[in-house]
């Protein structure tokens, strides 16, 4: 694992990293049809999460306290609680 991680880091630094193709699997649904499901490679998921953490650290301070979507420790439930508090 460490070898693969250090190899991915080196490829990122030298701008040679290429994401792997997403594996496509079809899941049976209740009505007899199939639903497509994309499964990314583990290394791609690790790199995506690292990029998300970097971008979050940069941009989180720019967001208003009144926005809730796709932000850490916020979401629809917190929006409803805050809105209910304001309306009361």
The encoded tokens of residue 86 equal 């304001």
DSSP label at residue 62: G
What SS3 state is found at 9? helix
For residue 34, pLDDT over 80 is answered with yes
Q: pLDDT of 35-78, one tens digit each?
A: 999 999 988 999 999 999 999 889 888 887 778 877 887 888 88
What is the average per-residue pLDDT within 24-43?
A: 93
What SS3 state is found at 11? helix
**pTM (whole model) above 0.75:** no
What SS3 state is found at 37? strand
What SS3 state is found at 28? strand
């Amino acid at each position: 694992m460490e070898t693969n991680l250090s190899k991915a880091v080196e490829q990122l630094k030298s701008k040679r990293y290429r994401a792997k193709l997403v594996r496509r699997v079809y899941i049976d649904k209740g009505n007899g049809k199939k639903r497509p499901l994309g499964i990314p490679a583990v290394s791609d998921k690790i790199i995506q999460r690292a990029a998300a953490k970097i971008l979050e650290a940069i941009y989180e301070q720019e967001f208003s306290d009144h926005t809730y979507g796709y932000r850490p420790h916020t979401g629809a439930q917190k929006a409803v609680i805050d809105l209910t508090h304001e309306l009361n």
